[in-house]
Amino acid sequence: MPQPPGPDLSRPRLREIASWIRDTLDPLIAREGPDVMNIDDFLTLHEIFIALQYADISATALRATRIHRAVLEVASKATRWPGRLADECDRIIMIWRARFGPLEDLRPFLYGRGGRLEGIAGVTDITRTALLKRWRDTTPELVAPHRPRIHGSLGFQAGAWWLNSLFAFRDGIIDLETTDGGICFDSNGAYAVLLNDADEVEGVSPSSFTYRCHRNDAGRFRLTAADFKSRYPVRVLRSHSLNSLWAPRAGVRYDGLHRVAGWVIRAVLPSDTNHKMDELIFEIKFEREDTGQASMEEVMRHPLANEIDDYAEYKRLRRLQREAMRMKSVSAKPALELAKVVSELSTRSSSPKASAIGLTSTIGNTSKSIGKSSPDILVHSSRQLTRPHRPTIVNRYRPCKRIPRFQPSHRSQRSGSMDGLRFRCPTQRDRETANQFWRHGPSHNCDSKQH
């Protein structure tokens, strides 16, 4: 008798199941509890989890569909999800870890086939300059300055999301001057606003807020102009660095078209920062157009779980690339800089004993590392570094061609300082005592009565 067909485990279906678990079911269960799941959803997940225990899935398929992250999320929140489903996820994790190793190391594809940045950026394009150079060389029409300076949504759906504002500029929703926040405008009007940092001063709801214009931003005159051009709706984007309850958790999100509902031009108050006292502050109130756009409840869901994964992977790869560049620059440091470090270490020794104990080993190891690359650099030995400097003593009271002899006081014997000197012409015995003093250092116990 033929067995009934099992659940569909194709890559599109697994990707859909992973997104359903992480973006829909998990927030719902977190708010309402596990009893909110209906029986059909429970049976669907049960069949899929049982099939995953016996399915022959490769590590590439897991990375492409991210179903392993959904399984990890259910297992890690066993007190939130139904216990039967959590136990099945634990068995799946044991099987996959025995086959692939730690599942946390199966990270999403970002630059490869099917990745978010496929054909857009490379692993080494971590700086603004590198990205702009790549785009100007490959697709110059995408970075044309006039491209985003058109009224309307330009085909973007509310809820569109980017890793940062530079990728939003590449897609043409804002211009290059607006990537750091501000107003996208020209002489014909304003087209978009990117909210960043403390731009949103009042927001009772995500659909109605007050925007404070930046200093020296000429776009504020386009938004407050008394003509029909200022009445066109503008595209509003929120950055994750915005100090607001409605900001996305990561990246940059497009919140839809908004109209200017009013504005206030006032003087600077003592509580206003980043403004001079003789300037004027422009505060513009925006209200969202709900017709023909997705609701803000749907927009606020972004970034989704897979978008958060891409953001975390992008930050991780960029951090690794910067650390590699930093290590490369440190290893290529010339030997002269290392010799400078050696000289600075030698001057930090406050006492001869401390130099002999703590500083000699550091300088010795550094001198060995630069000895081959720079043989002309002279590295002092530990005896030269620990030996105190012999001062030149001049008798100011009567001239004497011979070397004056000093007799250290009781304080100078303890601390090694050269205060309390008494001068007289030295004898042969004085010279022998002086040689013994300089051979053993200032800590040598010299009896002043013998001099």
The per-residue pLDDT for range 142-180, each reduced to its tens digit, is 889 899 999 999 999 999 999 999 999 999 999 999 999
DSSP β-ladder status, 189-195 and 234-239:
parallel
| Residue scoring higher pLDDT (274 or 411) | 274
Q: Tell me: the pLDDT tens digits for 56-104? A: 999 999 999 999 999 999 999 878 899 999 999 999 999 999 999 999 9
Buried b (16+ CB within 10 A) or exposed e, 141-163: eebeeebbbebebeebebbbbbb
Taking the whole predicted model, whether its pTM rises above 0.85 is answered as no
Q: For 368, phi and psi rounded to 5 degrees? A: -65, -35
Instruction: Report the distance separating Cα 402 and Cα 291, nearest Å.
Output: 103
CA angle 143/146/148 to nearest 5° reads 75
pLDDT of residue 419: 45
CA angle 389, 392, 395 (to 5 degrees): 150
- Backbone angle region of 159, left / alpha / beta, with phi > 0 → left and psi within -120 to 50 → alpha: left
Q: In terms of pLDDT, which residue wins out, 346 or 233?
A: 233
Q: What sign has the CA pseudo-torsion 341, 344, 348, 351? A: positive
Please give the biggest Cα pair distance in the chain. Answer: 125
The yes-or-no verdict on residue 44 having pLDDT over 70 is: yes
Cα angle 276, 281, 284; round to 5: 155
What per-residue confidence (pLDDT) applies to 377? 38
Angle at which helices 83-100 and 39-54 pack, to 10 degrees? Answer: 20
Which pLDDT score is estimated for 392? Answer: 46
CB 130 within 8 A of CB 321: no
User: What integer is the mean pLDDT of 437-448?
Assistant: 53
Distance, CA of 112 to CA of 80 (rounded, Å)? 35
Question: In whole angstroms, what is the distance from residue 29 CA to residue 44 CA?
Answer: 16
Residue-averaged pLDDT of the chain: 79
User: What pLDDT, on the 0 to 100 scale, is given for residue 230?
Assistant: 75
Look at the chain and count its residues: 451
Please, are residues 182 and 200 in contact by the beta-carbon 8 Å criterion?
A: no
Give the residue-averaged pLDDT of 228-235: 85
pLDDT given for residue 7 in this prediction = 82
Radius of gyration of the chain (CA): 36
Residues contacting 282, CB < 8 A, separation 6+: 212, 213, 220, 223, 224, 263, 264, 265
Residue 441 confidence (pLDDT): 58
Residue 346 has pLDDT above 90, yes or no: no
Q: For the segment 239-285, what is each residue's pLDDT rounded down to a tens digit?
A: 999 999 999 999 999 999 999 999 998 887 877 766 677 778 889 99
Residue 200: phi and psi, rounded to 5, are: -90, 105
Omega before 303 within 30 of 0, i.e. cis: yes
| DSSP calls for 82-103 | -HHHHHHHHHHHHHHHHHHS-G
CA-wise closest residue to 214 among 249, 234, 188, 185: 185
Half-sphere exposure of 443 (CA within 13 A, CB side): 6
Q: Which of 52-66, 104-118, 266-280, 298-312 has the lowest mean pLDDT?
A: 266-280
Average pLDDT for 1-23: 82
209-228 core/surface letters (b: 16 or more CB in 10 A; e: else): bbbbbbeebebbebbbeeee
Query: By the 8 A CB rule, do 309 and 66 touch?
Result: yes
Rounded average pLDDT over 314-341: 71
